[in-house]
Structure 1
Amino acid sequence: MSDELALLVADVFEAAGALRRSGEAFAAAEGQTQARWQLMSAVSEEALTVPQAARRLGIARQGVQRVANDLTDADLAEFLPNPDHRTSPLLALTSEGHTTLRRITARAEAAHRVIAPKLPEEDLSGVRALLQRLTEEVRNYGTGPEEGGKTAAG
């Protein structure tokens, strides 16, 4: 089983690389980067602080701060006062940011419409469920005693 898990992890990394490259191309077609696209997506529904966005994206706060600054410099996002935390403003998209995000997302959706029919829906659902479980197990590993995983009790 361990060998199968190692092979799955290798496949996930390969798929992630291919998805990053295609995402970079979608974003570049609109003069953006994958990092900008990801952050615009993260704050598209609700304004978030940089630390909140970093946690949501699973990346370092400093990297998110740099991208947030780039987005505000390009008038794609703005920092708003945060009523809950005076020194941690909320990052929100501007109308231009929402428009740019819609254009990038439309490019990705066009690719999905070509790829999706080649992949059986039941396979996609099963893979998603497995990846969600794998993600949960990996996150839990290292948070508990001894072996690093959570115990059955906790």
Structure 2
Amino acid sequence: MTEAERTAAGSALTALVLDLFRLNNRMLTSGDKLVAGLGLTSARWHVLGTVAASERPQPVAWLARDMGANRQNVQRIVNDLEKEGLVAFAANPHHRRAQLVVLTEKGRDTQKAAMRLQAPWASGLADGLDVLEIETTHRVMKALLHKLEGSEDVGEEA
């Protein structure tokens, strides 16, 4: 579809996406600074948080799926976290080669410390913003994510 054929909603979405890319880069940089003293980066914090939020230990491929990330990148980060004693690998009763990733005590402590830093940081960023607008933005982002995930499923079946 050419620029002239883009709908008004398509143009608005394009502008939003470009700003989301910029916001993502700024959020990652800010997150890196926030947790640097804990020996984390935004990427490591994201993986650690995903492991912590999981209801049960999961293999790397499942963690990557939950994060919307590349399995190989998540595997590299998990390996780094394991070397630092933040996560460990456990036997997977359902798959011999796909070990489960579990938080260690050090990993739980580090994740909790990161979240203690995150709370005032997030509140400061949200200061002056309307809660209803934040919630509306979140709903729009989730709807877009749902559409993209649905289109990926269709593409995989073809």
Give the TM bin, normalised by the shorter chain. 0.7 to 0.9
Structure 1 residue 40: deviation in Å? 0.6
Point out 4+ residue stretches in structure 1 off by more than 6 angstroms: none
Matching residue of 1:17: 25
Distance in 2 of aligned mates of 1:140 and 1:56: 15
Pick which of 18-27 and 86-95 moved more: 18-27
- 1:117-128 aligned at under 5 Å gives the runs 117-128=127-138
Match of 2:101, SS? strand
**Structure 2 residue corresponding to 1:84, chosen from 77, 94, 106:** 94
Structure 1 residue 4: deviation in Å? 0.8
Matching residue of 2:40: 32
Amino acid at match of 2:109: T
Structure 1 gap segments, 5+ residues each: 149-154
> In angstroms, what is the RMSD of aligned CA positions?
1.5
For residues 143 and 39 of structure 1, do their structure 2 counterparts lie closer, same or farther at Cα, with a shift above 3 Å needed?
Answer: closer
User: What whole-Å deviation, never above 9, does each CA across 1:48-77 have from its counterpart, x for those lacking one?
Assistant: 101111111111111111111111111111
Matching residue of 1:129: 139
- 1:135-154 aligned at under 5 Å gives the runs 135-141=145-151, 143-144=153-154
Match of 1:92, SS? strand
For residues 42 and 142 of structure 1, do their structure 2 counterparts lie closer, same or farther at Cα, with a shift above 3 Å needed?
Answer: closer
Distance in 1 of aligned mates of 2:118 and 2:153: 35
Distance in 2 of aligned mates of 1:97 and 1:43: 10
**Structure 1 residue corresponding to 2:103, chosen from 83, 89, 93:** 93
Distance in 1 of aligned mates of 2:79 and 2:131: 39
Structure 1 residue 12: deviation in Å? 1.2
Amino acid at match of 2:52: S
Structure 1 or 2: more helix by fraction = 2
Distance in 2 of aligned mates of 1:36 and 1:26: 12
Matching residue of 1:151: none
Matching residue of 2:57: 47
Amino acid at match of 2:101: L
Identity %: 28
Structure 1 residue 141: deviation in Å? 3.2
Structure 1 residue 143: deviation in Å? 4.7
Matching residue of 1:67: 77
Distance in 1 of aligned mates of 2:153 and 2:128: 39
Amino acid at match of 2:27: L
Matching residue of 1:108: 118
Matching residue of 1:152: none
